[in-house]
């Protein structure tokens, strides 16, 4: 796998936050089967919840590339992010 220079969106609302990651990258990192049902999926993207799955991703990314992924923060305009309405993550 090539070095990733991409920034990942961290989407948050007043109660929680998720990082948006291509499912393909989770598969390439070998962690897709470790993502909990508390994360979400919409199409080819996973939205990894901040309490557990985000650290699984960060650790695997750091192990593979030698540095933390770059993050771009996105705050939900409403009190409730639409991420909460996506399907629970499944591979």
Grouping H, G, I as helix, E, B as strand and the rest as coil, residue 83 is helix
> What mean pLDDT is predicted for residues 51-80?
90
Burial of residue 81 (number of CB atoms within 10 Å: 0-12, 13-18, 19+): buried
Residues 6+ apart with CB under 8 A from 47: 11, 18, 19, 20, 21, 39, 40, 41, 83, 86, 89
Grouping H, G, I as helix, E, B as strand and the rest as coil, residue 4 is coil
Q: What is the pTM of this model?
A: 0.89
Let me know the angle formed at the C-alpha of 6 by 83 and 82, rounded to the nearest 5 degrees: 10
Name the least confident of 4-13, 33-42, 79-88.
4-13
Query: Does residue 1 register a pLDDT over 50?
Result: no
């Amino acid at each position: 796998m090539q070095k990733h220079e991409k920034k990942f969106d961290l989407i948050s609302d007043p109660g929680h936050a998720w990082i948006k990651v291509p499912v393909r990258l989770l598969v390439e990192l070998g962690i897709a089967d470790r993502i909990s049902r508390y994360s979400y999926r919409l199409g080819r993207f996973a939205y990894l919840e901040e309490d557990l799955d985000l650290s699984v991703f960060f650790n695997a990314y750091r192990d593979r590339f030698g540095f933390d992924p770059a993050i771009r923060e996105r705050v939900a305009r409403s009190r409730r992010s639409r991420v909460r309405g996506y399907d629970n993550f499944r591979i």
